[in-house]
Structure 1
Amino acid sequence: MKLDKLLVVIDASQPSHPALERAAWLARRTQAHLHVLLVEYSAALDGSTLENSLQTQAREALLEQRSTWLQELLTPLQSEGLALQLDVRWGKRLHESVLEVADQLQPDLVLKSAAHNNLLRRLLLTDSCWQLMRHCPFPLWLVHHAEWRGGKLCTAVDPLHKDDKPAALDHHLISTSQALSTALGMHADVVHCHAPLPRTLLNNTELLATYQQYLQDDAQQHHQAFDDLVGQHGIAPQSAHLLEGAPENMLPRFVRKQEIDLLVMGAIARGRLDTILIGHTAERLLESVDCDLLVVKLPAEK
């Protein structure tokens, strides 16, 4: 995974900018170029009763004001010698503007701060976060507001490839995390969660009678698939973790216990996220992890 061009999304309405802080941290280690994007919109200047010329002037004045603000924000980073490009533009839907710029820039990584609940210290995903996870073809780094240690990353895999997930995705995820580990000096773990069917969901008498055998067979199947996957990538046993339980329960606990800073997860590029990343399960999982998230898709075939 290259880290030459980073697209950083800034929200001027927020008091802090973790995505910019994380991008600067990455740039200091990789000499990456930062393309800093601020998308501005005001409903009062969109279809208002102002004459077109006045409306245009008002928009330009607002964008100029934001440009000045962004320049002041970035001045300390420019003084460090980091390569920066400012991009302030008008856009009603943030995710559409980000996707448009990304298509032009072809970044190696897109970084965006997630919303933050100060009371619960939770990662809260806005609609723009979900839209970018669904439609952004580039790796998407959602930045948590918690303290960044920059020491550990972990990749969540599914070696049995349920829900029609391409088998190549797990290999791509691990290769991506290993490249990040090397470039950023972070320790890399790999984790897989599996949850057998509870006995209470089995109504068939024959299945109930062989439930213990089913548990053994299921565990063996996951162990074998996981061992084969990590073995192909030369991952040390102490860095490979097979957990029994639902991902939305086990991954947040694992992240906290192991003090993971970045959780790498996969999404299929079919216009929607993989099962682990959609619906109520996703909200429980993604909004309860105390770390940054990196959502990765397979590169588009050329």
Structure 2
Amino acid sequence: MHLQQLLVVIDPTQPQQPALERAAWIARRSGAALELLICEFHGALDGGALFDRSTLEKARASLLEQRRDWLERLAEPLRQEGLKVGIEARWGKPLYKMIDARVAELRPDLVLKTAHSHGLLQRLLLSNSSWQLIRHCPAPLWLVKPDREWQGRRLAAALDPTHSADKPASLDRLLIDCTQALGKALGLEDHYLHSYAPLPRTLVFDAELVADYEYYVERTGARHREAFDALLGQYPIAAPRRHLLQGFAEEALPQFVTDNGIDLLVMGAIARGHLDTALIGHTAERVLEAVDCDLLVIKPVASASQ
């Protein structure tokens, strides 16, 4: 993964910008350029009978000019440090489509956005931009969790060597390559995780498995260990940085993050249909809701445009 251009989504509703803070931290270590993107939309300025078209256009232009002035104020201290910072202000909605359009033009190496936790109902209604960006953003998406102080010490990649989530094998290799590159570029200690969960005894209906449930659990663990070791055996990754966890990903991964001081969790995601994601949600989405560190979501090239 190259770090030459970062796109930072600025939230016009918040005085603090954790995504910008994180992007500046990355840029200081990598030399990457930043672009600060703000997207505005107000229904009252989009149309209606009270104002003519010319008046509405002037009002929108005035608002965007105010936003550009604010972006310049955010950018100036960073420029004084020697960082390269550009700004962009746009009118439109929904937010995730505006971001995706700018990604297609700028082709950044990373998109950074602050991710506030939201309830299950909002996720099911597909109304939150973070969930939409996880599904649709063609660039690697770094979601910044604002409630935890950034230490900048460790990152971990969550792998799926048995492809139980229908992810292609190439995605695991991409995650490892990106994690190693980020660790080297940013001075982070890299770790590699795989979690698996045998069926609970109460959900095993096969009489033979019920009779020897312990053997079934042992065999399941051995199969995952073999696949995990075979994948990581292709890389010079020391044993202390390999972690096989037993448990569901949305429980085991957040617990590992907390216990081991992980600052950034790297996960893969594949594009799926709207109905599937509405009813189930990606593992990455469920983990985002539970994890208390930043999350980097990476898609295989073939699915990033779906």
Q: Compute the TM-score of the two structures, normalised by the length of structure 2.
A: 0.91
Which residue pairs with 1:262 in the alignment? Answer: 264
CA contact (8 A) 2:257 2:293 kept: yes
Task: Provide closer, same or farther for how the CA distance between residues 114 and 163 of structure 1 changes in structure 2, counting only shifts above 3 A.
Answer: closer
Name the counterpart of 1:22. Answer: 22
The answer (yes or no) to whether the contact 1:134–1:273 under 8 Å persists in 2 is no
1:243-258 superposed matches below 5 A:
243-258=245-260
Structure-to-structure mapping, 1:26-105, within 5 angstroms: 26-49=26-49, 50-105=51-106
Instruction: Letter of the 1:25 partner, please give it.
Output: W
Aligned ranges 1:148-297 → 2 under 5 Å:
148-270=150-272, 278-279=280-281, 284-297=286-299
d(CA) in 2 for partners of 1:76 and 1:272?
42
Q: Secondary structure at the match of 1:191?
A: strand
Tell me the residue number matched to 1:122: none
1:268–1:274 contact (8 Å) kept in structure 2: no
Mapped to 2, the partners of 1:268 and 1:36 lie a distance apart of 27
Count of aligned pairs between the two proteins: 294
Structure 1: distance between partners of 2:166 and 2:287: 21
Partner of residue 123, structure 2: none
Contact preservation (8 Å) 1:115, 1:126 = no
Partners of 1:272 and 1:297 lie apart in 2 by 17
Structure 1 residue aligned with 2:122: none
The change in CA–CA distance for 1:27 and 1:101 in structure 2 (over 3 A counts) is same
For residue 207 of structure 1, report the CA deviation from its aligned partner.
Answer: 2.2
User: Structure 1 residue 5 and structure 2 residue 18: aligned?
Assistant: no
> Considering only aligned residues, what root-mean-square deviation do their CA atoms show, in Å?
2.3
The amino acid across from 1:219 in the alignment is G
Tell me, in whole angstroms, the C-alpha distance in 2 between the residues paired with 1:61 and 1:52.
14
Q: Which amino acid aligns with 1:211?
A: Y
Alignment-mate amino acid for residue 192 of structure 1: H
How far has the Cα of 1:249 moved from its partner? 1.1
Matched-pair contact (CA < 8 Å) for 1:134–1:272 = no
- Does the aligned pair in 1 maintain the 2:268–2:284 contact within 8 Å? no
Q: Contact 2:196–2:248 (CA<8 Å) still a contact in 1?
A: yes
Unpaired runs of 5+ residues, structure 2, are 119-125
Percent of aligned pairs sharing the same letter: 54
User: Within 2, Cα distance between the matches of 1:171 and 1:64?
Assistant: 44
Listed one character per residue, the Cα deviations across residues 120-158 of structure 1 (whole Å, up to 9, x for unaligned) are: xxxxx9711111110111100001112111100000001
